[in-house]
Amino acid sequence: MKMTIRWFGKLDSIPLSFIKQIPGVSGVVTSLMDIPVGEVWEMDQVQKLGEVCKGANLECEVIESVNIHEDIKLGLPNRDKYIENYAETMKNLHNIGIKVICYNFMPVLDWARSTLFYDLPDSSSTMYFDNDVVMNITLDELAAMYRKESYRYEMPGWEPERMKKVNETIAQYGGMTEEKYWENIKYFLDAIIPFAEKYDIKMAIHPDDPPWPIFGLPRLITCRNNIRRFLDLNKSPYNGITLCTGSLGANSANDIPALVKEFSKEGRIHFAHIRNLKFESEKSFYESAHYEKAGSLPIFDIVEAFYDAGFDGYIRPDHGRMIWGEINRAGYGLYDRALGSQYLLGIWNALERLKK
């Protein structure tokens, strides 16, 4: 297992030298957020990114995300051109030693929350999801809330370029059925996985967050059976998943330790995002500290399931709270994620001792 921290490249205010000071963290998970979706990540840009990380003595082996152009998701005739670009990007990423690409296939949007900075009684703040709010708000209203609340940090999945044409894109999904969407994802996998094999890059799809339809758009990567269906679409071990505990865990019917056991044993989990949630009702929760007792998810059992499976992929502490007066990109401050990494490493360390 390799413990990593997400770093937003030149859009991140956290210096790599600070990340390097977190014990047990071997590398960063990063991306080139400023390249418009669908364009090739050119060799010189990719090389620079790798050099910056390696210059700070941090490994750079995971990219999150190389986003998928909407024409691929929609199955439009132009998709082959964007798939070619994607493969070209993979070739360049291979040249700097990238081992895993995390991506998602959520239509139009990425993840969604109803509040970015929800105040907790201990005067920390955190992200909140209230399904009633999201079901009764327009996308424009939600995007406006993000712009207002985000301290001008660009939020992954809510990039200004994406938001500019969001209504137009949503309109293109009129009539899109789940079955058609499954076909489109299979088309993408069958085209891309041979390149993943060639370049030795594991593809790790991120689950849909939340794992149910919002804004009337289909969602696929939501539960055990759909993950099984996804993995069966293309059976190469290079076609795998990012196990995100917070995304899948938002549906309490998902048994996360069981998912880890099943899919890790088969070598299909390449990357894990571990975060905790505290439910306030069936479909509302806030993102709590990683510490198991602070939230509702069985964090210990999840880490133990990875340990028992001999997991040798990458883990990163996912979304943290804002603590100690930090002002930063929602979910991605330094302090609480650093604490989270130490908690997860502590569990791992104890398991190593006790189970040897």
Q: Which residues bind ligand DNO (CB under 6 A)?
A: 64-65, 102-104, 110-111, 156-157, 206, 273, 331
> Is the Cβ of residue 31 or residue 124 nearer to ligand DNO in the bound state?
31
> Is the Cβ of residue 58 or residue 221 nearer to ligand DNO in the bound state?
221
For residue 248, the minimal CB distance to ligand DNO (Å) is 12
For residue 243, the minimal CB distance to ligand DNO (Å) is 12
Distance of CA 52 to the CA centre of its chain: 22
For residue 246, the minimal CB distance to ligand DNO (Å) is 8
Residue nearest ligand DNO (C-beta atom) = 65
Cα→Cα distances 34→31, 148, 154, Å: 9, 21, 10
> Is the Cβ of residue 2 or residue 329 nearer to ligand DNO in the bound state?
329
For residue 273, the minimal CB distance to ligand DNO (Å) is 6
For residue 350, the minimal CB distance to ligand DNO (Å) is 27
> Is the Cβ of residue 19 or residue 23 nearer to ligand DNO in the bound state?
19
> Is the Cβ of residue 37 or residue 294 nearer to ligand DNO in the bound state?
37
For residue 157, the minimal CB distance to ligand DNO (Å) is 4
> Is the Cβ of residue 270 or residue 273 nearer to ligand DNO in the bound state?
273
